[in-house]
Amino acid sequence: MTQTWTSLYVQLTDSAVAADALRSLLAERGYQPYDPFPGGTGTPPGQKETVRLFVAPAQDGWVRVLGEVDQSLLPDLSRALKTPVLYAWLDEQDGGMSLYQDGEQQDDPASFASYLRQDVSVEKLQQAFAGKLKVSPVESTEPPVMVVGADALPPELQQFAADQGVDPKKADKLAKRLTDQLFGRLSKQSGASREEQEQARSVLMGGGRDIWNSLQGQRLRAIAEQLKLPANWRLPTLDTVRDAYHVHRLRQSKPRMPLMPGDQESLKAVPDALEYIPVYVGR
């Protein structure tokens, strides 16, 4: 099953500690680091498996890891860091949170007791896990997480772009810009509400409504609201950070190159993108 959103949370004050632990554990599994961003070494040919992560700067005493991590790695990560690792996931069919401590996975809500917000009981957290707590609809300033994948281009068009020598990521960004322009004109004429606009944009981009407003998305948000997670527990998304990091690196290596359409928005979306640590490895 393809994950649409995953994050790890570790109570650390130094994001480099988490990044180094991830790289070390992945190296033990035969992965080699690479740097596909401007000024880097590029993506080595022949890779069959890749792991693409970003480690966010520490916030509120937590370090968040953005991107999909093989869950089999998490017991070892909790041992290597000598602290519990919280794992959250959300896809089109399910969503939830697990805790890895001393190499063991724990899914009982009671195991999260030490992470509860003040005045929140274990019983209330159990209600959240059971999907019995209501949350307000998401009104995100970022593009919604799509139910069917995270990219604007359907898989067959992504493959066609690759076969024609076109960078699928650049083609994806172009598709998003064209969709936003088209949608902007239509929404002005229709007078639709914000929620209706977000749903319509999701449909135009190839998915359903924002997955964070689905039942599984509401359940995960209800769980997170009971815990002392950092303010950035959900946003920015991996794609937003990746795009911003790319533009920042491009400006470093070629400061005189004019910005492409959409680049300024990426810079504004994550102004501290260079403080995120990329963990890109392949084998």
pLDDT of residue 140: 58
Compute the half-sphere exposure of residue 11: CA atoms within 13 Å on the CB side of its CA.
11
Tens of pLDDT, residue by residue over 3-14, are: 589 999 999 999
- The sheet with strand 32-33 has its strands ordered as 32-33, 277-282, 50-55, 63-66, 5-10, 85-90, 95-101, 104-106
Q: Cβ atoms within 10 A of the Cβ of 176, count?
A: 20
Pairing of strands 63-66, 85-90: unpaired
CB 15, CB 230: distance < 8 Å: no
Residue 75, pLDDT above cutoff 90:
yes
Closest CA to 273 of 281, 282, 263: 263
CB 88, CB 218: distance < 8 Å: no
Three-state SS at 260? coil
Per-residue pLDDT band for 125 (boundaries 50, 70, 90) equals very high
Average pLDDT over residues 255-266: 86
Dihedral angle computed from the Cα positions of residues 155, 264, 235 and 24, in that order, rounded to the nearest 10 degrees: 70
Per-residue pLDDT band for 129 (boundaries 50, 70, 90) equals very high
- pTM of the full structure: 0.76
Residue 144, pLDDT above cutoff 60:
no
Per-residue pLDDT band for 147 (boundaries 50, 70, 90) equals very low
Tens of pLDDT, residue by residue over 190-244, are: 565 554 554 455 444 444 568 999 999 999 999 999 999 999 999 999 999 999 9
Q: What is the CA radius of gyration of the chain?
A: 20
